[in-house]
Structure 1
């Protein structure tokens, strides 16, 4: 299961992990990076093509990208960014959906700025030996389509969750969805996940509890990636991941509700 790990945990295992920095190349080169990290910028895997699923890159694109970065199919990966983990979470969820062992996928709690408070960085380029990454998607994934989202909105045992900002939600959201801005689960001081009990209280206040099936969406599946990883970390057993999100929903002419309605 993709989880969240502390900077101390990562520092104790430097050299045994494949560290993936998903910031832009200029940030990786100019601002420094974690020792040994390779750079796989978010822009290189952020959207799919006509024959891909939702916003996911194609299997061929993903395999080529990770192979070039020297990432192997058996590597234990820690991903990070400098935006509270939202872009790194997207990398990890993409890896999980395309078949990387989720038990070997980790999100750095906090981000690059948080790491710098306690540990060193480097501007030295990381030597990369190309790998031969093979994509092997699992038979079952958390992916759900628009029909499943509609059904969940009518199901009292499920909760459809919009992880965007309040203004976006007010402008138009899927009928029956509750609002949970993904950033509400981030501690502004530590830049990482809220303390566990605080996070669970916030979720429960929105009706998001482990006893229910949770279905997540945003606009392009980036923000739900962070919420997905956090909910897994908190022990939520059943999470649906609407990869198409509002991009697909609106393209199909499906209904939206505004806050004024």
Structure 2
């Protein structure tokens, strides 16, 4: 097991060694409290401006994406743009060399999106960590604070890697006929039944988290679920949802489990539908 998803004790022992990013809304960060030393980078600040409000990301507590957003058409999906992300990280006092732990209060789905965004803009994936559990789980056994965190503005260098897990719409279409690739839809059952990419298998991202602990289920339970769906580490796993938020969590979990070949369809079903591509319906 990797150190991509890390327990609260791991973080508590390294508060002086890591940069902690809280992606909740500012009113939660200030009013409810936060992990000591955390900096607030709200979710809607690292989403493309024309999608953030429509996505329902900051208002929908059960993890649904909006179905009515327009596809960007430029392959960037909901990514904010390299310059915007660099400025955001600089404002937070983060450098490209920092080891980052991100958390939210929604089982990690928003925090995972932050980490994937950082990875796509060149932050070393070995320095990106997701808190196992969320703020509600952390505060049960660990200290919180409402005091602000002092930091100086940094100069964050964006250096996108030559290769990323991102795939475009034509690659997704080709993958539907590839026996060595499994296309995975991480949305809810009712969404899948209303329409999904042909040949996709369904894996609701929340099937991998425990509602009681608010973190990941035990590894053997997760692997059993993945095996039941035919999501085999020997195959290429291509992930999508509606607007690339929920797949961020599943992508992070599969990386944590050591899946070697992951593909990330940033355009997701929003782009697929806008392009008029075929959909299958039913379970």
Normalising by structure 2, we get a TM-score of 0.89
- Which of 75, 90, 96 is matched with 1:67 structurally? 90
SS class of match (2:237): strand
Once the two structures are TM-superposed, the CA of residue 113 in structure 1 deviates from its matched residue by 0.5
Coordinate RMSD, CA, aligned: 1.4
Which residue is equivalent to 1:158? 181
Once the two structures are TM-superposed, the CA of residue 48 in structure 1 deviates from its matched residue by 6.0
From the superposition, tell whether residues 11 and 124 of structure 1 become closer, same or farther in structure 2 (CA, over 3 Å): same
- Which of 121, 127, 139 is matched with 2:162 structurally? 139
Looking at structure 2, the residues matched to 134 and 241 of structure 1 have their Cα atoms a distance apart, in angstroms, of 23
Looking at structure 2, the residues matched to 161 and 91 of structure 1 have their Cα atoms a distance apart, in angstroms, of 21
Number of matched pairs: 260
Once the two structures are TM-superposed, the CA of residue 45 in structure 1 deviates from its matched residue by 0.8
Which residue is equivalent to 1:44? 45
Looking at structure 2, the residues matched to 168 and 200 of structure 1 have their Cα atoms a distance apart, in angstroms, of 24
Unaligned runs of 5+ in 1: none
Q: Output aligned runs, 1:68-147, within 5 Å.
A: 68-147=91-170
Looking at structure 2, the residues matched to 131 and 29 of structure 1 have their Cα atoms a distance apart, in angstroms, of 22
From the superposition, tell whether residues 2 and 56 of structure 1 become closer, same or farther in structure 2 (CA, over 3 Å): farther
Which residue is equivalent to 1:257? 280
From the superposition, tell whether residues 2 and 228 of structure 1 become closer, same or farther in structure 2 (CA, over 3 Å): farther
Check whether the contact 1:20–1:78 (CA below 8 A) recurs between aligned residues. yes
SS class of match (1:248): helix
Looking at structure 2, the residues matched to 232 and 68 of structure 1 have their Cα atoms a distance apart, in angstroms, of 29
SS class of match (1:117): helix
SS class of match (2:151): coil
Moved over 4 A (4+): 48-52
Once the two structures are TM-superposed, the CA of residue 22 in structure 1 deviates from its matched residue by 0.2
Check whether the contact 2:75–2:266 (CA below 8 A) recurs between aligned residues. no
Which residue is equivalent to 1:32? 33
Once the two structures are TM-superposed, the CA of residue 142 in structure 1 deviates from its matched residue by 0.4
SS class of match (1:26): helix
Looking at structure 2, the residues matched to 142 and 220 of structure 1 have their Cα atoms a distance apart, in angstroms, of 16
Which residue is equivalent to 2:5? 4
Looking at structure 1, the residues matched to 14 and 269 of structure 2 have their Cα atoms a distance apart, in angstroms, of 39
Unaligned runs of 5+ in 2: 51-71
Check whether the contact 1:99–1:136 (CA below 8 A) recurs between aligned residues. yes
Which residue is equivalent to 1:212? 235
SS class of match (2:263): strand
Q: Out of 88-97 and 43-52, give the one that drifted further.
A: 43-52
From the superposition, tell whether residues 48 and 142 of structure 1 become closer, same or farther in structure 2 (CA, over 3 Å): farther
SS class of match (2:239): strand
- Which of 77, 83, 86 is matched with 1:54 structurally? 77
1:72-123 per-position Cα deviation (integer Å, ceiling 9, x unaligned): 1110000000000000000000000000010000000000011011101000
Check whether the contact 2:75–2:267 (CA below 8 A) recurs between aligned residues. no
Looking at structure 2, the residues matched to 121 and 218 of structure 1 have their Cα atoms a distance apart, in angstroms, of 33
